[in-house]
Amino acid sequence: MDEMGYVILQLFILMSMALILGRVFERFKMPGLVGEIIVGIIFINVIIAYPGVGDYIHFNVVSFDADETHFLNVMGELGVIFLLFTVGLETRFSDLLKVGRPALYIAVLGLVIPLVCGLLYGIGLGYSHSVSLLIGTAMFAMSTAITIEVLRDLDAVNTIEGKIIIGAAVIDDILCLSMLAIISGIVDPDTNNATIIANTVTVIVFLVVAFSYISRIKKIAEKRKKIMMAERKNFYRLTGELMVGDDATLPKARTYNANKATLLAMIVCLGMATISSTIGLAGIIGSFLAGMMFAEFKDTYPCETNFKILTAFLLPFFFIYVGMKVRLNDVSASILTLLIGLIIVAVITKYVGGYIGARLGKVPKDSSVVIGMSMIPRGEVGVIVATIGLNLGIFTNEMFTAVILMAIGTSIIAPSLITWAYHRMERMRAQTEQNSAL
């Protein structure tokens, strides 16, 4: 069997595990992505424990770790980028403005409270200021992909809560990534202040340009419609008769082939992801903005269905890859104590931040609980911060493992909490309606 045969075999194993665990998790009414994370954890740890298995399927843990462009990683990352593009396609700018106030409160408090509490927790445990600051930083950014996937499972993306959460997630991402640049500048003595300021300015310019383009594109689209209507009227006048119901001869709005439309949309999506990744924001911010930009063209260029199907194929690899970051043999009793503490602080602070933020934004109590829960999952940023800490020699190996496990642990806990809170909210509303009907 050649190298490619082994790749196919690995995919076969991972997908079979995902199917089986998915069924089990469905039975217990837990979101499928938790099953996928656990697939990754089992897969990598079986290979570490029994290296013979890895040899048999040509899966080398060492080269897998070193290879940032491993195909599983790339496919998963594309999945997240396409997911955010799809969400952007469905997000109206006016809706985002409407939920802007609560979303901003949620994002800011959801940043400040975990950062400060994480910092204090670290200091309380006797760690240095740098270590404590990084612990706080690893706690502040949520994982947009996980929350949105759970919302999609619940069919809650287009509810008012869903819109607030997506708005808060985007602001959270922007704020946290900007803050991350500043904090890693503080921690790393090699960075100078001019670079940080330049980066911040670039980010602001990018966001202003993108959002002003999005807000304008709607007006342009309306103008084009008017011009087309005028052309039609002119045509009627020229032919001298009113051809009601016979539009076949008129210049029609062209609809492109779905595959071609998808290619074009993908170029816009990847282009924006590249730009936002270049200036230090994550690629997903760019692809979300690209989705909002493309939303006005999705009738002419029908790409939505294709993107959803591609996302459904690619996204599981993201969760599997997240799970593969967990090395169970690194876990000792001392790490476990540290880890449990970190997870408790992480869950409570982000929940409290989201809940208070939502209440300040005049969101009802039951919705605020859902929103608070939705802020809990951490992901990429936690892993990035842990890596920065390790590379700069600030984190010990123990702390590195604990912080990564904290991020993944919240991602495993949160989906069930969000689902529970959402169903609770629905039940309470149904009851209120019943009561008022009586």
- Report whether 206 contacts 281 (CB < 8 A): yes
| Token pair belonging to 350 | 């982000």
CB of 162 to a copy of itself, least distance (A): 20
Stretch that binds a copy of itself, among 40-48, 142-150, 184-192, 254-262 (CB under 8 A): 254-262
Nearer to a copy of itself, 3 or 241 (CB): 3
Nearer to a copy of itself, 267 or 328 (CB): 267
CB of 322 to a copy of itself, least distance (A): 14
Residue 309 in the binding site for a copy of itself (CB under 8 A): yes
DSSP 134-185: HHHHHHH-B-HHHHHHHHHHTT-TTSHHHHHHHHHHHHHHHHHHHHHHHHHH
Residue 56 in the binding site for a copy of itself (CB under 8 A): no
Q: In the set 262, 367, 368, 401, which binds a copy of itself (CB under 8 A)?
A: 262
Nearer to a copy of itself, 236 or 256 (CB): 256
CB of 18 to a copy of itself, least distance (A): 7
Q: Is 398 helix (H, G, I), strand (E, B) or coil?
A: helix
Residue type, 1: M
Q: In the set 45, 48, 70, 182, which binds a copy of itself (CB under 8 A)?
A: 70
> How far apart are alpha carbons 111 and 201 in whole angstroms?
20
Stretch that binds a copy of itself, among 37-45, 168-176, 272-280, 320-328 (CB under 8 A): 272-280
Residue type, 320: I
Residue 118 in the binding site for a copy of itself (CB under 8 A): no
| Token pair belonging to 334 | 């001392």
Stretch that binds a copy of itself, among 88-96, 126-134, 235-243, 268-276 (CB under 8 A): 268-276
Residue 411 in the binding site for a copy of itself (CB under 8 A): no
Residue 195 in the binding site for a copy of itself (CB under 8 A): no
Q: Which of 375, 366, 367 is nearest to 110 (CA)?
A: 375
Using CB under 8 A as the binding criterion, the count of chain residues that bind a copy of itself stands at 45
**Whole-Å CA distances, 278 to 105, 202, 265:** 28, 10, 20
Nearer to a copy of itself, 22 or 357 (CB): 22
- Report whether 93 contacts 218 (CB < 8 A): yes
**Whole-Å CA distances, 12 to 17, 45, 270, 311, 426:** 9, 18, 28, 18, 39
> How far apart are alpha carbons 366 and 357 in whole angstroms?
14
Q: Which residues bind a copy of itself (CB under 8 A)?
A: 1-5, 7-9, 11-12, 15-16, 18-19, 22, 68-71, 73-75, 77-78, 81, 258-259, 262-264, 266-267, 270-271, 273-274, 277-278, 283, 305-306, 309-310, 312-313
